[in-house]
Amino acid sequence: MNKNPIIAFLLAFFPGGGLMYLGKVLRGIFYTAVVIGMPIFGIIIFNIFFYSEALLFFPIGGALLLYLVNFIDTAVTASKLYNQTKNIGDETVIEKNPESERFFTIILSFIPGLGHFQLGLTYRGMTLLAAFSGLGIMILFVAMMTGRSEILVFLASLPIVWLYGFFDVMKQLEKKQQGEVLVDRSIFEDFESREGDGRKSKTIATLLSIIPGAGHLYLGLQKRGIQLMAAFLFSIYILDVMRLGIFLFLVPIIWFFSFFDGLQKAAKADDGVVEDEPIVSYLINHQRWLGIGLIALGVYYLGTNIVMPVLNPYIQNVFHIDIQYWFYQYFQTTILCLLLIGGGIKLMTGRKAKRVEEGEKE
């Protein structure tokens, strides 16, 4: 019975599974027992004897190392299935099957870019590897520096990059096996080399629209893109700072609006120039109020982070009032309630005034 090397590699995600499939039963059982058994043994020792977290590092670290060795061992063993031996005179020559290249390309493609290296597409592979690793590192760095775990939601873009890289390397492999000459250029050059007319790529705009506002910025819609990106990020920040979990439903609404609006603008861009219409045109025409809002926000943070911590001990000693407690417990909620009530009254009166004007015209 012929064994499939790709199936063997996929079975290697269970420790020893790929080797047992290839007939290396004892080696497979060894990896299964050691990789699963070492963490269990470490947890038992931790709970019964020492209660030292440092002791868990060695069995779990060793298990992870052997898990990686299991993949390498399976890949090397499976690759031998492609080797063909021929006797030429007194010498035995090993010839590699062309399918071995497909096997190694698929395996290496689990890390974006490495499969392209196998095909000789160094620049293309470097682009994908840099995009995948750079994006992940940037998101983790920003989340760590700001202390905001909400930023980790952007890690959802990594599987998209991974899937694109995997399907792209399969496409390039198919071209090579059909005898076509592969051109080593970045994926962005592929997107932009459509018709040479300078039009924006709908594919790139769609991918960038995953990040609110990014697709609009790519299409040249700076006003609309900046407003959407600022609304998305600011809503996450302000809802976290003000502890307004009840309004978290606004975040996915902004994301979906931005994503589908980006798709619509990308479709219209194929037919001609798209006008850069801001989402909230009121702020563009009334920048004075935007400036007042920024000043108020600066005064707010100055008071909460500097003035209040300095004055609170003195006020507490003299008047026996903890102003920080009252501020965080009641003041923020009161301000929010007043803003919501004021907004509701504004909408109601505005609607009434509009009806009166329409009645006068008639």
The DSSP annotation for 327-356 comes to IIIIIHHHHHHHHHHHHHHHHHHHHHHHHH
pLDDT tens sequence across 145-167:
667 676 777 787 788 888 888 88
The C-alpha torsion from 204 through 209 and 211 to 217, rounded to 10°, is 80
Q: How far apart are CA 194 and CA 132, in angstroms?
A: 24
H helix count then E strand count, the chain: 18, 2
Which of 64, 83, 102 represents a domain boundary (last residue)?
83
Q: What share of the chain is helix, strand, coil (3-state, %, to 5)?
A: 75, 5, 20
Is 140 within a domain?
no
At 87, list the tokens. 């006797």
349 versus 196: the higher-pLDDT residue is 349
Domain count, the chain: 2
For residue 15, the SS3 value is coil
Q: Nearest-CA neighbor of 255 among 163, 168, 328, 154?
A: 154
Domain limits for position 317: 296-338
Is 5 within a domain?
yes
Which of 50, 83, 116 represents a domain boundary (last residue)?
83
> Identity (one letter) of the amino acid at 144?
M
Of 41-50, 83-92, 221-230, give the lowest mean pLDDT range. Answer: 83-92
Is 273 within a domain?
no
For residue 286, the SS3 value is coil
pLDDT tens sequence across 46-80:
777 666 666 667 788 888 888 888 888 888 788 77
Question: Where are the extended beta strands (E) located within the chain?
Answer: 83-88, 91-96
Is 11 within a domain?
yes
> What is the pLDDT averaged over residues 242-267?
76
Is 66 within a domain?
yes
Is 354 within a domain?
no
- Cβ contacts of 274 within 8 Å, gap of 6 or more: 219, 220, 221, 265, 268
Which of 83, 112, 132 represents a domain boundary (last residue)?
83
Averaged pLDDT score across all residues of the chain: 76
Q: How far apart are CA 150 and CA 179, in angstroms?
A: 48
Is 34 within a domain?
yes
Residue 263 phi, psi (nearest 5): -65, -40
Is 158 within a domain?
no
